[in-house]
Amino acid sequence: MQRRNILIVGAGPVGSVAALACARFGHTVTLLEAQAHIDDSPRASTTQPPTLEILAELGLIDEYIRVGLVARTFEFWDRPTLKRIAVFDFDRLRDETDFPFVVQTEQHKLANMAIERLRKMPNVEVELGTPVTALSQDENRVTVEAGEHVFSADYVIGADGGRSTVRKILGIEFEGYTWPERFLVITTKFDFAAALGVCFRNYMADPEEWTNLFKVAGDDLKGRWRAVFNTRPDETDEEALSDSAVRARLGRIYVPERERDYLHLNLYNVHQRVAKSFRKARVFLCGDAAHVNNPIGGLGLNSGIHEAWDLAELLDRALRGEGDELDSYEARRRPLNIEYVQEQTVANKRRLEERDPAQRARRFDELRAMADDPARHKAFLMKASLLESARRAIRH
């Protein structure tokens, strides 16, 4: 049994970036992924400025932008009246970052890009189709079992997603709740920018049923749109996925009847949960294994990549014998996730679904006032882009 420095469970976007971040220091790294191929269902695409900074340091940024779409602005709309409420422009962050925009690149592209780089590194082994089934540790090392295979490592990163086997084996509670409604993602070629005048990232409020509307490049780079809707709590999966309900939803975002064909459907359960602890001795949790949230605002994956980056540096120092700061990982990352990711995504959801007419009007006024005031506009974007959280995380 070969001993490795760092073993990472899960080659989703967080695990594969964590592997690259650790491997660049020259440590021996093993990345184990349960599936034979990276899942390409429509999940994250919105990549925030501090994440782009990390991808630049990893040498991935040019390719990442090439296979995605650059979006400088995002917009809030009132869906029933199809009125634009406010526009937020990342260019206001140009003094804060080299990347004053988001890039819309689908998350499977990031994982595949990182894996391709990892496969060329002599200190890295990547094993797909290798689900981890057991894990144990003593003072000096962690032993990981994947079926008949046994691995040994100084440290393990559990980046195995919301249903994390690593978290369950460690017996760490996943505190929080699950929303009663699910989120439906409809992928279509209908050109919403041409038809409605929207930008590439739009949040449409409606007390009956809200919509988030995004453009992504697609694998063919020809462009397609993802429309995300809440389902009714009493709506069955079958109902939500039925052709008639999907076409009716497209109709409610102003798609003419003859153009309501779609490419893909996905229905997700949505949670707000944070692991009670992000570490047990030599094993760490990262990304969705450590926390999950509703996707409104595009923060979950971004925060996971920030953790991976942070943790790689801490593990590097520990492996070089430059002091043990490993406790700081949980002390720093857990509160940041609660303050910036959980709180903002819950607030984003409330903003879209507000039912009380007076409260709704107040929320719209507040958005307009923020957009119109340069200082408040920038402050809002510093939080929404996770730049504020990323700057706070820098150790002195």
Query: In this complex, which beta carbon is closest to ligand FAD, that of residue 37 or of residue 232?
Result: 37
Query: In this complex, which beta carbon is closest to ligand FAD, that of residue 103 or of residue 364?
Result: 103
Is the C-alpha dihedral spanning 238, 243, 248, 251 positive or negative? positive
**Options 49, 105, 161, 351; binder of ligand FAD; rule CB under 6 A:** 161
Please tell me whether residue 187 binds ligand FAD under the rule CB under 6 A: no
Please tell me whether residue 14 binds ligand FAD under the rule CB under 6 A: yes
Q: Is-contact 157 15, C-beta < 8 A? A: yes
Q: Which residue's entry shows tokens 């184990």?
A: 32
Beta strand residue intervals within the chain, DSSP E: 3-9, 29-32, 46-47, 69-71, 73-78, 83-89, 102-104, 124-127, 134-137, 142-146, 149-158, 174-188, 201-205, 211-216, 224-230, 264-275, 279-280, 283-285, 291-292
The helix/strand count (H/E) of the chain reads as 14, 19
* Least distance from ligand FAD to the Cβ atom of residue 299, Å: 5
Distance, CA of 44 to CA of 183 (rounded, Å):
13
* Least distance from ligand FAD to the Cβ atom of residue 107, Å: 6
Query: In this complex, which beta carbon is closest to ligand FAD, that of residue 286 or of residue 367?
Result: 286
135 Rama sector, left if φ>0, alpha if ψ -120 to 50, beta otherwise: beta
Amino acid at 189: K
Residue 332 structure tokens: 């720093």
Query: In this complex, which beta carbon is closest to ligand FAD, that of residue 100 or of residue 158?
Result: 158
Q: Taking contact as CB under 6 A, which single stretch among the options 9-17, 246-254, 272-280, 350-358 is the one that binds ligand FAD?
A: 9-17
Is the C-alpha dihedral spanning 327, 329, 332, 336 positive or negative? negative
| Closest to 124 in 3D by CA, of 271, 245, 24 | 24
Please tell me whether residue 68 binds ligand FAD under the rule CB under 6 A: no
Please tell me whether residue 288 binds ligand FAD under the rule CB under 6 A: yes
Q: Taking contact as CB under 6 A, which single stretch among the options 32-40, 78-86, 89-97, 231-239 is the one that binds ligand FAD?
A: 32-40
**Options 6, 7, 8, 9; binder of ligand FAD; rule CB under 6 A:** 9
Query: In this complex, which beta carbon is closest to ligand FAD, that of residue 86 or of residue 289?
Result: 289
Q: Residues touching ligand FAD: how many (CB under 6 A)?
A: 36
Binding mask 303-342 for ligand FAD (x = CB under 6 A): -x--------------------------------------
Please tell me whether residue 32 binds ligand FAD under the rule CB under 6 A: yes
* Least distance from ligand FAD to the Cβ atom of residue 143, Å: 15
Distance, CA of 19 to CA of 15 (rounded, Å):
6
Exposure class string for 35-62: b at 16+ Cβ within 10 A, else e: eeebeeebbbbbbbbbbbbbbeebebbe
Please tell me whether residue 50 binds ligand FAD under the rule CB under 6 A: no
Query: In this complex, which beta carbon is closest to ligand FAD, that of residue 40 or of residue 175?
Result: 40
**Options 67, 72, 73, 131; binder of ligand FAD; rule CB under 6 A:** 131
Binding mask 256-285 for ligand FAD (x = CB under 6 A): ------------x-----------------
Please tell me whether residue 165 binds ligand FAD under the rule CB under 6 A: yes
Q: Taking contact as CB under 6 A, which single stretch among the options 5-13, 252-260, 330-338, 370-378 is the one that binds ligand FAD?
A: 5-13
DSSP string, 328-366: HHHHHHHHHIIIIIIHHHHHHHHHHH---HHHHHHHHHH
Footprint of ligand FAD (CB under 6 A): 9-15, 32-35, 39, 43-46, 107, 131-132, 159-161, 165, 183, 185, 228, 268, 287-288, 295, 298-302, 304
